[in-house]
Structure 1
Amino acid sequence: MKLASLKEGRDGSLVVVSRDLQLACRADGIAATLQAALDNWDECERGLNAMYQRLNRGECAHAFAFDTAACAAPLPRAYQWADGSAYVSHIELVRKARGADMPPGFWTDPLMYQGMSDGFLGPCEPIELADEAWGIDFEGEIAVITGDVPMGTTEASALPHVRLLMLVNDVSLRNLVPAELAKGFGFFQSKPATSCSPVAVTPDELGQHWQNARLHLPLRVFLNNQLFGHPNAGVDMTFGFDRLIAHACLSRHLSAGTVIGSGTVSNRDESTGSCCIAERRTRELLNTGEASTPFMQFGDSVRMEMLDEQGRSIFGAIDQQLVRYKAAQLSR
């Protein structure tokens, strides 16, 4: 089934979306918000799925045209956003460009940081930032939304806790990263608001493409309407979502509505392009001695989408423009 949240209130209004993303129906009487549905998944899933089936058969009396521009993020506010870095070859590439050795533990123990979750951006909302000198970059990722996950859940028992999958654009400010990491305390200012696809889908919607806790389809990323990359998200993913979930809950419970990201989707095969500017710049540096692709400038646009084998959009598209943030004038 496919679910989305309309821009109504801080936490949105839950709607069920047809498989072809053409129609939607409010989840009235089942759950007002996606978080409410996740909190009571065992009770809500059956009703939501029944509505989804009726909607796909054209039997939902109150259906209306689905508009991604009217969507907030599926979870406008989440209790937790834990972003991994599951494509270790991506890390290896970046470290190689600056002459740094690859610690062996990176291949056996996932990297993960806790990011900003109190305000995810909707799929068509602008990326508002104050300064191009920050090195503004996009990062195309896959993310899962979990139910309640008990502390100590193992990799072998993690996948049943996955409720939904979606796409995310994990915006990074590359020129702020070095100073933050030098403090030895992780990311904060260099990781502003993350953007999400209009629709989140249950794993069964992905069919054979959801295997081994990985989503085996290309993630298509466009910068200013030009294809930037299309790496397959299931290829070269060192840690599956089962491992990422087990890593996240080693010493804590995860509440329903926890979002866990894959990190930038990346393939060793350079012909698939990249899902972030930093990776392209790294490859340019290694191949030619100079990084020539600039980071984003105000007015640039980025689009991310995943298609099924028939060329149909699965999650809808993240389609955003970078704009200069102008701080609100506070009244005295």
Structure 2
Amino acid sequence: MKLATLKYIGRNGRPTRDGKLVVVDRTLSRYIEVPEICGTMQEALDDWEATAPGLESVYHRLNAGEETEHAPFDATNCMAPLPRCYQWIDGSAYVNHVELVRKARGADMPESYWHDPLMYQGGSDHLIGPHAPVEIISEDYGIDFEAEVAVITDDVPMHVSLEQAPRHIKLLCLVNDVSLRNLIPAELAKGFGFFHSKPASAFSPVAITPDELGPHWNGNKVHLPLVTTYNEVEFGRPNAGIDMTFNFAQLISHAAKTRHLGAGTIIGSGTVSNKDASVGSSCLAEKRMLEIIANGKTETGFMKFGDHIRIEMPGPDGEPLFGAISQFVIEHAICQEEVRYTSAFE
């Protein structure tokens, strides 16, 4: 099943913060509204056992051509599947990436990182859609993209076991977890984690149920290439199922070690990375570190205003799975803060 959240104008004439939930067909060409089942993605996740069967039925009828009230699907009208959520947690499941990026900033790699997942809790009140711009105040911050896969859960009990954790994975999506690399060292030196260095993350137009991946969803990993195109040139296509040290069941279990996770919790994989450098990278920082290893110096700079990033995961036959994240980097106009914040939900 494939679901999306479209921009929606409320009764007061203003865009709603949570949009409206729609069911999208397998080819991402048509959608249908489902107000009789639930109005938003969060409502669906809050009572997944009750809402999923109805949504699944609509999905099958839509694919079979039995739904006559459908409309053309346009990803530019999408918000993030969950425009705001109760919890956005990002892991670092690809320890190869962690090791390289830490080297890039002169930090040692503790042995424990191979056995105990890294996680940070990101800002969940403002998650942006696949075509929303990456708004940054200064290029000096060291703007970087990070292509990731994420899962969305229902309610997860505290201390959930590895065996039970997969049952709570209801949807998957793609993420551009933007990082401001030049702000990271000073923040981490304070010993309290990321904050300013992690602006709003962007999400794919569509979230899908694991069964849409067929045999490529195996071992609680997605075994397909994640393709990143930077300024219209392919940057990397590492396979998300290779070199993933911690699978999504392990990430969920780790996140729930001391707390319950509410329905609609999003858990990211961290930047997808393969040890085989020939497949490219999913962020600029990793490529920069590989350049230092190979040539003793960095040749690749960070993103500039006007740069374009595209992140997608085609199916094995080239069919669209999640749709594409397609964003331009723009300078945030400080004098228009209120206008821009409002427009983010339009």
Q: Tell me the TM-score range normalised by the shorter chain.
A: over 0.9
Cα 1:329/1:96, change in 2 over 3 Å: closer
**What RMSD in Å do the two structures reach over aligned CA positions?**
1.1
Q: Corresponding residue for 1:60?
A: 67
Q: Percent identity?
A: 57
1:233 aligns with 2:237: no
Q: Corresponding residue for 1:5?
A: 5
Cα 1:330/1:2, change in 2 over 3 Å: closer
1:248 to 235, 251, 255: 255
2:144 to 120, 124, 137: 137
- Alpha-carbon distance, 1:321 to partner: 0.3
Amino acid at match of 1:17: V
TM-score by length of 2: 0.94
Amino acid at match of 2:300: T
- Alpha-carbon distance, 1:95 to partner: 3.1
1:81 to 79, 88, 99: 88
- Alpha-carbon distance, 1:104 to partner: 1.2
- Alpha-carbon distance, 1:89 to partner: 1.0
Alpha-carbon contact 2:150-2:175 (below 8 Å) kept: yes
Listed as ranges, the matches of 1:94-173 within 5 Å are 94-97=101-104, 100-173=107-180
Amino acid at match of 1:4: A
- Alpha-carbon distance, 1:97 to partner: 4.5
Distance in 2 (alpha carbons) for counterparts of 1:96 and 1:301: 27
Instruction: Give deviations 1:153-201, integer Å, cap 9, x for gaps.
Output: 0112100000000000000000000000000000000000000000000
Distance in 2 (alpha carbons) for counterparts of 1:237 and 1:164: 19
Where does structure 1 differ by over 6 angstroms across 4 or more consecutive aligned residues?
A: none
Cα 1:329/1:312, change in 2 over 3 Å: closer
Distance in 2 (alpha carbons) for counterparts of 1:329 and 1:104: 46
- Alpha-carbon distance, 1:313 to partner: 1.3
Q: Corresponding residue for 1:260?
A: 267
SS in 1 for 2:112: helix
Cα 1:98/1:73, change in 2 over 3 Å: closer
Q: Corresponding residue for 1:206?
A: 213
Instruction: Give deviations 1:4-34, integer Å, cap 9, x for gaps.
Output: 0001210010000000000000012000000
Alpha-carbon contact 2:105-2:185 (below 8 Å) kept: no
Amino acid at match of 1:6: L
Distance in 2 (alpha carbons) for counterparts of 1:31 and 1:217: 31
Amino acid at match of 1:5: T
Amino acid at match of 1:195: A
Distance in 2 (alpha carbons) for counterparts of 1:239 and 1:198: 26
1:70 aligns with 2:77: yes
Cα 1:99/1:326, change in 2 over 3 Å: closer
Q: Corresponding residue for 1:43?
A: 50
Structure 1 unmatched ranges of 5 or more: none
Distance in 2 (alpha carbons) for counterparts of 1:139 and 1:296: 12
- Alpha-carbon distance, 1:329 to partner: 4.6
Distance in 2 (alpha carbons) for counterparts of 1:268 and 1:285: 16
1:286 aligns with 2:296: no
Amino acid at match of 2:198: K
1:222 aligns with 2:224: no
Distance in 2 (alpha carbons) for counterparts of 1:207 and 1:33: 26
Alpha-carbon contact 1:97-1:286 (below 8 Å) kept: no
Cα 1:220/1:207, change in 2 over 3 Å: same
Instruction: Give deviations 1:52-101, integer Å, cap 9, x for gaps.
Output: 00100111121000000000000000100000000001112233445543
1:22 to 26, 29, 40: 29
Distance in 2 (alpha carbons) for counterparts of 1:330 and 1:16: 33
Instruction: Give deviations 1:130-166, integer Å, cap 9, x for gaps.
Output: 1000000000000000000000101121000000000
Alpha-carbon contact 1:167-1:197 (below 8 Å) kept: yes
TM-score by length of 1: 0.98
Cα 1:30/1:267, change in 2 over 3 Å: same
